[in-house]
Amino acid sequence: MMYLPNTPADVRDMLSTIGAASIEELFETIPGELKLSRPLELPEGLTELELSALLAEMTASTVPAGENTCFLGGGAYDHFIPALVDALAGDPRFVTAYTPYQAEASQGSLQVFFEYQTLIARLTGMDFSNASHYDGSTACVEAALMACTATKRSKIVVLDSVAQHDAEVLSTYLKHRDVELAHCGVDEGACNLDELRCLVDSRTACVLLRHPNAWGILEEVDLISQIVHDAGGLLVVNVDPISLGILKRPDTYGADIVVAEGQPLGLPLSFGGPYLGILACRQSLLRRMPGRLVGETVDRNGKRCWVLTMQTREQHIRREKATSNICSNQGLMAIRACIYLAALGPTGLREVAGLCLQKSHYLAAELVAKTPLRLVYPKSPFFKEFLLRMPGERPAAPFVDALAEKGIFAGIPCKDTLLVAVTEKRTRAELDRFVRECARYTEV
């Protein structure tokens, strides 16, 4: 099955236009020792029928999260997605990852991006949101670099309670930059405030925290905010957007930049992507914020319309002076998040967050009461995730494998601990069955 669209006539026309007699002449500047003189060692091509059968066989070996009882978390969660999200976001006129440049021909998409920005700003309490980033981790990085540019400082303090994947992406981005990355330890699963006070100084551009953190625990955000602001730095907070249905908005405790992984807002787990990077900030930082911004204006006839605005911030205009080289974004994922938030509204989001809180605490209490599993941080408040320790320091991975055979994705194992997440989808029967299976396994 060939996927090359160029006919022999097309090839002749292109070669004639550029003045080359043959394909070989076109590439004659490449040294011979660098050219592959034999065919690629690949199997024979397949027909469409054969290829379809092969792909069907490969996909049959995977087990969708929705077909099992899923307690996986760590940044990607099995939340319920209303049918209207797929129905509306699946409109062919929306299906692109890009923010449209030609505003007069893209009013529908631009209006939805504008509504997305408005909803995110209201959700976080920030003044502005951009039209999305690649994912939560890149949004974290962009926020940290934003803080360095705004403060003209070069030290970033990261709490060890942020997600490992966020910390790794940040470390990768900063590897070849003149930026110091300092790590602050934890106490009972949350920020060690005494250590943070020692780390934050006049060189600190920002403190980056996750709230709720990587183990689901709620941080002392007011105290952390005071520590960093007293030193003249900025507070960058990575939130679970669902948690904002019941937790304090970041603006109320002094957050300057808010980032998030938008997957919980109507995006399927889908093998880890595509996901959605959320980034919002205070007005004073707007011109430092990377990414596309959609604004509302009026056309020459006085009609309401939408355009890409403040583009002088961006790399296609400022070039090497731009804050970031981020250009493309996750437009379709932002549309999904916008539809999800609009469908739920404040009351619906509050209900989803409340169910996550209630069900996770019910499960944690039942596991502690009826199995040998124990909370790693029993004194620390949590939202919808909690960390368990296996009895006798047994490894958690075999336990996870055993429950997977029974149709339960038990959580994320790490040595002798297990991270368990509970969303609004989990029923009382599923939670009770999980407790019974945990008790049965840990008794052996």
How much is the pLDDT for 93?
Answer: 87
How much is the pLDDT for 263?
Answer: 98
Cα–Cα distance measured from residue 100 to residue 334, given in angstroms and rounded to the nearest whole number? 13
Question: What single string gives the DSSP state of each residue in 127-168?
Answer: SEE-S-BS-HHHHHHHHHHHHHHHHT--EEEEETTS-HHHHH
- List, for residues 342-401, the tens digit of each pLDDT value: 999 999 999 999 999 999 999 999 999 999 999 999 999 999 999 999 999 899 999 999
- List, for residues 283-297, the tens digit of each pLDDT value: 999 989 988 899 999
Token match 């403060």: residue?
151
Strand order across the 155-159 sheet: 128-129, 277-281, 257-261, 234-239, 204-211, 155-159, 180-184
How much is the pLDDT for 317?
Answer: 67
Residue limits of CATH 3.40.640.10 in the chain: 83-339
How much is the pLDDT for 61?
Answer: 83
Q: Is the peptide bond before 274 cis (omega within 30 degrees of 0)?
A: yes
Kindly tell me if the per-residue pLDDT of 102 is higher than 90. Answer: no
Cα–Cα distance measured from residue 404 to residue 427, given in angstroms and rounded to the nearest whole number? 18
How much is the pLDDT for 316?
Answer: 62
How much is the pLDDT for 325?
Answer: 67
CATH hierarchy code of domain 65-79+345-443: 3.90.1150.10
How much is the pLDDT for 2?
Answer: 62
The fold for domain 83-339 equals Aspartate Aminotransferase; domain 2 (3.40.640)
- List, for residues 25-81, the tens digit of each pLDDT value: 989 999 989 998 888 898 888 999 999 999 999 988 888 888 899 999 999 999 999
Cα–Cα distance measured from residue 223 to residue 195, given in angstroms and rounded to the nearest whole number? 13
| Helix ranges, 65-106 (H) | 83-89
Give 273's pLDDT tier (boundaries 50, 70, 90): confident
Cα–Cα distance measured from residue 237 to residue 260, given in angstroms and rounded to the nearest whole number? 8
Give 169's pLDDT tier (boundaries 50, 70, 90): very high
Residue limits of CATH 3.90.1150.10 in the chain: 65-79+345-443
How much is the pLDDT for 355?
Answer: 99
Kindly tell me if the per-residue pLDDT of 444 is higher than 60. Answer: no
Residues of the chain above pLDDT 70, percent: 95
pTM, to two decimals? 0.88
Pick from 182-186, 329-333, 429-433: least confident:
329-333
> Residue 114, Cα to own-chain centre: how many angstroms?
20
What length is written for the chain?
444
How much is the pLDDT for 271?
Answer: 84
Give 329's pLDDT tier (boundaries 50, 70, 90): confident
Cβ atoms of residues 184 and 219 within 8 Å: no
What mean pLDDT is predicted for residues 413-440? 98
What mean pLDDT is predicted for residues 302-306? 94
